[in-house]
Amino acid sequence: MERALVIRRAEPADAEAIAAVHVRSWQAAYPGLMPQAYLDGLTPAMRLPVWERLLGESSPPRTEVLVAEADGSVAGFAALGPDRDDDVDPASVAEISAIYLMPEVWGAGVGGRLMAAALDSSPPPGMSRPPSGSSTGTLARGGSTSVAAGAPTAPYSGTSRTASR
């Protein structure tokens, strides 16, 4: 049975659900990679102040958060905002800083839909959208580093990644 999926901009009222997704995804994804005692000690209440602050920001530059609702419940989120690299103009290049999903929707295409929505979303306030048809600008908005179409990104865990859309 296919779940009804809606992707929308997060609202301050979503902070608690986003914090729960954040914690559950870490606890399910990182055993063996992070100390188990640390993962076991994570609680949504620990992450809640961060999400309340981010979702309450009103002046640029700010973080834009999208949520994926599956059957009416927040099943994942993506956060994007001005790029934090020193060698780019944060007013014109954005980065996707987080995509997290509830383990129950892993492999169901929710992450891909969130990534596509983040790439297609209007830029966060204080940033300008690249010219229409500018794949380089779109990819730059979509990655955690600035990339040109097909250019390798910075190594991650000893592997090289190529950005494409």
Per the rule left: phi > 0, alpha: psi between -120 and 50, beta: everything else, 11 is beta
**Is residue 44 a contact partner of residue 23, using CB atoms and an 8 Å limit?**
yes
Q: Report pTM.
A: 0.72
Model pLDDT for residues 99-140, shown as the tens digit of each residue:
999 999 999 999 999 999 988 875 555 555 544 433 333 334
Nearest to 27 by CA among 96, 98, 99, 103: 103
Predicted pLDDT at 103:
96
| Percent of the chain with pLDDT strictly greater than 70 | 69
Q: Cα angle vertex 132, ends 127, 135, to 5°?
A: 90
More confident residue, 8 or 161: 8
